[in-house]
Structure 1
Amino acid sequence: MVENRPFLGFLTHLVLIAGVIVVAFPVYVAIIAMTHTDVTLNSGAPLLPGAELISNLIAVWTFDPPGAPPFWLMVWNSTLMALIIMVGKIAISIISAYAIVYFRFPFRTLAFWIIFITLMLPVEVRIIPTYEVVANLGMLNSYAGLTIPLIASATATFLFRQFFMTIPDEMMEAARVDGAGPLKFFRDILLPLSRTNIAALCIILFIYGWVQYLWPLLVTTREEHFTLMMGVRQMAGAQEVDPQWNLIMTAVVLAMLPPVLIVIAMQRLFVKGLVETEK
């Protein structure tokens, strides 16, 4: 039984409120900044909304900063990259987990642990050899170079494997008695049962692809392949002109919107896919 201690409850809420303020205040400053002119922002950081929101939104979509493509093209590149990475990671991971759990072949367990061990290797360890492979295959400055090296996921493979292991063997035997082959069992039984896990991973993997900065920075030098994260950095670091902070903050807020909207729209499936244990 949890004791009712008013002071402890007050202290808990105070810590939570302080944490929310620390996390949310930079976002609030960015949202406020996108409603002012660059003249106002250069003179200080206002904390109250201005009247330039619409004009800044229109200007950022037509903004063509030095050394970067138009804003809409960077949004398209980031969206395409995130979607390809998301679909590719889920497709490869669920098929890999299916093979590891339901097929009997030599060194099956070893294959899984080799995949799992890659989780212990940070990106910085793998990035130079991965770049060399991509360069030797001629995939620099291409959508293939942006996405293919990132579509393998040990985390998703591990999660699908753990889920498949919770499915009773009797279900597989019943499907086999009914004449269902491996592909039919996978398509008609495993995929529908995995929809909440897939939805949760879709959110995580889309955001993973959307916020990529280091890898696109290495493999892309042409402006037509710049992602939104690269473009915002280019807008802030342009040497030829003074940074237009009102447009930069508008671009930052717009870059935050897709992940936030996806999390809000799929929140119930996301939580269910992470915490659901009884299948």
Structure 2
Amino acid sequence: MAESPLAARAPSRMLSHLWMVLGVIVVVFPVYYVFIASTHSTQTILRPPLPLVPGAEGLHNYGEAFSGRIGQIGGVSLWRLLGNTTLVALGIAIGKIAISMASAYAIVFFRFPLRMACFWLIFITLMLPVEVRIQPTYKVMVDLGLIDTYPGLILPLIASATATLLFRQFFMTIPDELLEAARVDGAGPWRFFRDILWPLSLTNVAAIFVIQFIYGWTQYLWPLLVTNSNEMNTIVIALRKMISFADADTPWNLVMVTSVLAILPPILVVVLMQRWFVKGLVETEK
């Protein structure tokens, strides 16, 4: 008796699911480990092996972190660190979308001299390493008096050649007939953008927002250079300051609490916008 196609595919499907489960474990276990460590005392963390079940110090650790009694970061509350990081991440994400969308709109729908040269000049910036731009950018921020300010943290990072390219590729899929119909109806450039182009671009905006929010949230080098006071630190910089060269001098329980809180917002953004994120990436590729 011939074996059914479904039965023949069963081992292959089981192997695929096994690899998927293993992949999830590899990705999720470090996050679970950090969460478990955040509920134990420093002494327990420094005395391996760490128990894989939550400890009794969780409420005390989180309460101490939120109360602002972390000496390594000048007693700044985690609320302030989370607020700084959220403001920077939102500013970078929204700024990148606004500038990139406007640039792509001008390149695709307007005819002006050196239009493509402008696009390639924007695109070429992808080839410049961050280290090349750090020193002149920092000098500009010093001259403008933007050190230890939110504009100093946000403005140098809002230009994005990648987002401009993605919006350009999507705008090029808009039928010319739609543009002509808008012109016949008397719609100017602003009305065409507001009433037609913007609604069509929402999924792409969502996808780019998720990417750029995480990019802004995880920034380390630039906030490290442009901030001097503990009150202006982001949560990633605070994590680095909390870790000492000697394990005994590092409050590992509070480090783990801060790590958990640094991980949660990006995860929430991805989970809440997952459907739009995937749909936006698919439509952008088209």
Into which bin does the TM-score normalised by the smaller protein fall? over 0.9
Change (3 A) 1:85 1:40: same
The total of aligned residue pairs comes to 279
The one-letter amino acid of 1:81's match is V
Q: Distance in 2 between matches of 1:250 and 1:240?
A: 16
State the shift of 1:4 in Å.
4.3
Among candidates 59, 63, 79, match of residue 68 of structure 2:
63
Q: Distance in 2 between matches of 1:225 and 1:2?
A: 59
State the shift of 1:57 in Å.
1.7
Among candidates 47, 57, 61, match of residue 52 of structure 2:
47
SS for the counterpart of 1:276 is helix
Partner of 1:273: 280
Partner of 1:225: 232
Q: Which moved more, 1:44-53 or 1:112-121?
A: 44-53
Q: Conserved in 2, the CA contact under 8 Å of 1:64 and 1:71?
A: no
The one-letter amino acid of 1:21's match is I
Q: Conserved in 2, the CA contact under 8 Å of 1:82 and 1:206?
A: yes
SS for the counterpart of 1:28 is helix
Partner of 1:149: 156
Q: Distance in 2 between matches of 1:278 and 1:208?
A: 21
Q: Conserved in 2, the CA contact under 8 Å of 1:116 and 1:154?
A: yes
Change (3 A) 1:50 1:240: closer
Partner of 2:217: 210
Q: Which moved more, 1:35-44 or 1:99-108?
A: 35-44
Q: What percentage of residue pairs aligned between the two structures are identical?
A: 58
Structure 2 unpaired stretches of 5+: none
Q: Conserved in 1, the CA contact under 8 Å of 2:204 and 2:284?
A: no
The one-letter amino acid of 1:30's match is V
Q: Conserved in 2, the CA contact under 8 Å of 1:66 and 1:238?
A: no
The one-letter amino acid of 1:36's match is H
Q: Distance in 1 between matches of 2:22 and 2:246?
A: 38
Partner of 2:93: 86
Partner of 1:176: 183
TM score, norm. by length of structure 1: 0.93
State the shift of 1:212 in Å.
0.6
Q: Conserved in 2, the CA contact under 8 Å of 1:71 and 1:231?
A: no
Q: Which moved more, 1:31-40 or 1:248-257?
A: 31-40
SS for the counterpart of 2:111 is coil
Partner of 1:27: 31
The one-letter amino acid of 2:47's match is S
Q: Conserved in 2, the CA contact under 8 Å of 1:85 and 1:147?
A: yes
TM score, norm. by length of structure 2: 0.90
Q: Distance in 2 between matches of 1:264 and 1:240?
A: 35
The one-letter amino acid of 1:126's match is R
Q: Distance in 2 between matches of 1:246 and 1:181?
A: 58
Asked whether 1:37 is paired with 2:41, we answer yes
Q: Conserved in 1, the CA contact under 8 Å of 2:153 and 2:222?
A: yes
Change (3 A) 1:262 1:278: closer
Q: What RMSD in Å do the two structures reach over aligned CA positions?
A: 2.3
SS for the counterpart of 2:203 is helix
Q: Distance in 1 between matches of 2:72 and 2:32?
A: 29
